[in-house]
Chain A
Amino acid sequence: MAKETDNAAAKLETLARHLRAGWKKLYPVSEENLKKVSEAVQRQWDQQQSQTQKKSLSKGKSKSRGHDQAHEY
């Protein structure tokens, strides 16, 4: 019985593959939507880069502050 249900599941998955191919032809992602997605990813990237820069700057500052403090002793 398990073999039969496996067989039926495999046929449903064949249906899935063919439907996906059909949806791709019927609803290709538009240039406009791809542009919106790219812009959002770019904004996120820019934010991440500036945060990373800020972090490394503040790390640098605290290191040099520590260095200065060490010199006081």
Chain B
Amino acid sequence: MGQLSELISNYRQAKTLARRLAIVSELICEVGPELEAYAKRRARTQEIAEEVYQETLVVIATNLEKYKGNSDNEFRSWCYTIIRRKLANYMRDEKPDNFESFDESNLRDIIAAGQREISPGVEHDLKYALSLLAAAKPVCAVLLWVYHVLGWTYQAIAEAIGKSYDAVRVQLNRCLHDAQSLMEKSP
């Protein structure tokens, strides 16, 4: 059982307000930072990002009883679905954009903020992963990003991009394979 799933399981068994508050705080501290980063990347202004982010945290905290998932990625997908819908409400007049641009130096800065020293083996894996995203076609880079990095489930991606579950599953496998081939051609 993942860390988030364990916290949710404990939340479901919590009998007191104090226990419930402690678990909710821990959950929010786990998922909040990546949701804030997402809102800041996606919102038109920092004010909208902040507002959407705050509202999302409250919605997550007060709807935990309705959440039915069992895995960490299901929980992440649920949180991202909430923030994605809130952002869409704020930006109703704009054409929704499914694409994110990946600035490798920006991602490097984020990694460096989390851990100053990285072992050569991990560094090799990180370099490979960043190159894979860079080599992938834009649509594939986004799919690989949301599935493997943000942890969205097939179902959440299908809903976000308006495709079927199976279409997403097949496309993701193809994307990973194609990105690897592209990397081998231009390493």
Give Cα A28–Cα B118 distance, bound, in whole angstroms.
Answer: 21
Interface residues of B in 110-165 (CB under 8 A from A): 110-115, 118, 122, 125-126, 128-130, 132-133, 144, 148-151
Bound-state CA distance A40–B26 (Å) is 15
Q: Is the CB of B62 within 8 A of A41?
A: yes
Complex contact A23–B176 (CB within 8 A) = no
Q: Mark interface residues in A23-67 (1 if CB within 8 Å of B CB, else 0).
A: 111111100011011101110110000000000000000000000
Bound form: Cα–Cα A41–B115 in Å: 33
Query: In the complex, which residues of chain B have a beta carbon less than 8 angstroms from the beta carbon of A40?
Result: 58, 61-62
Interface residues of B in 22-52 (CB under 8 A from A): 24-25, 28-29, 32-34, 36-37, 40
Known: A33-B54, A37-B57. A18 touches B25 (CB 8 A): no
Is A19's CB under 8 angstroms from B111's CB?
yes
Tally of A interface residues using CB under 8 Å: 34
Q: How far is the CA of A40 from the CA of B54 in the complex (A)?
A: 12
Greatest chain B CB density within 10 A among A14, A36, A37 is at: A37
Chain A interface (Cβ < 8 Å from any Cβ of B): 1, 4-5, 8-16, 18-29, 33-34, 36-38, 40-42, 44-45
Contacts from B to A (Cβ < 8 Å): 17, 20-21, 24-25, 28-29, 32-34, 36-37, 40, 53-54, 57-58, 61-62, 107, 109-115, 118, 122, 125-126, 128-130, 132-133, 144, 148-151, 173, 176-177, 179-180
